Chains A and B, each alone.
Chain A
Amino acid sequence: GAGVSQSPRYKVAKRGRDVALRCDSISGHVTLYWYRQTLGQGSEVLTYSQSDAQRDKSGRPSGRFSAERPERSVSTLKIQRTEQGDSAVYLCASSLTTGSNQPQHFGDGTRLSIL
């Protein structure tokens, strides 16, 4: 497909476990973002990567979140030692370049539930 694809669509995990969410971005897109969307806090950016950087710096809320980019158009968001507060929809987005005229294209998200 031509759009951003995320898998799985739904994920249930026990608290304390590590989880990994996958994003296949649009071929040729350079910049890739991970967002978390919750009812109470809206949408917030977690990490982003530019070009072929394999590992992003962790974003909010803590170092438990990291993203790896094993291939240019693939990113994996890893959440370590999950907490119930991590339950949310995780959205991946990519843009062609870092230019200010480049819109972000979003996937449909992964709904994560931590028990």
Chain B
Amino acid sequence: KQEVTQIPAALSVPEGENLVLNCSFTDSAIYNLQWFRQDPGKGLTSLLLIQSSQREQTSGRLNASLDKSSGRSTLYIAASQPGDSATYLCAVQAGGFKTIFGAGTRLFVKA
């Protein structure tokens, strides 16, 4: 059974700091892994998607890596800003379109 774990559950950092969010999964047979951002009362906004055959994806200040063999993914945020404050969720998609989410990391960037 696939389980997705995100560490830390919450994180508070000063503005400008680089940070890493971690996601681990128990079954390496995945289709893809997606990182989302969720603001309070809103849906999920897709940040980066890494296919199972890929190692990393980059978008602006964000970089996500995937190591299937160890069941890990990291989301790196460079030069954090207060506007980055949100909950970050990782989700793995396996066969049959089943998507399993982690519980999320709540990020607060202090101005």
Contacts and interface: CB of A to CB of B under 8 A. Distances in A.
A pairs with B: yes
Chain A contact residues: over half helix, strand or loop, or mixed? strand
Interface in A98-112: 98, 100-109
Nearest to B47: A103
Interface stretch (A41-49, A65-73, A76-84): A41-49
Please classify how large the interface on chain A is, using the bins under 10, 10 to 19, 20 to 34, 35 or more. 20 to 34
A103 B46 contact: yes
Interface string B50-71: 0110000000000000000000
A93 B99 CA distance: 11
Contacts, number: 56
A44 B89 CA distance: 12
A105 B32 CA distance: 15
A106 B52 contact: no
Interface string B3-42: 0000000000000000000000000000110101000011
B31 A100 contact: yes
B49 to A, nearest CB: 5
Chain B contact residues: over half helix, strand or loop, or mixed? strand
Nearest to B51: A100
A42 B103 contact: yes
A97 B31 CA distance: 13
B99 A33 contact: yes
Contacts of B97: 31, 33, 45, 48, 50, 98
B27 to A, nearest CB: 15
Contact of B43 (A31, A100, A102, A109): A109
A108 B42 contact: yes
B52 to A, nearest CB: 6
B43 A45 contact: no
Interface of B: 31-32, 34, 36, 41-46, 49, 51-52, 89, 91, 93, 97-104
Given A101-B32, A108-B41, 9 more contacts: A31-B97, A33-B99, A48-B98, A100-B51, A100-B52, A104-B46, A104-B99, A105-B46, A106-B43
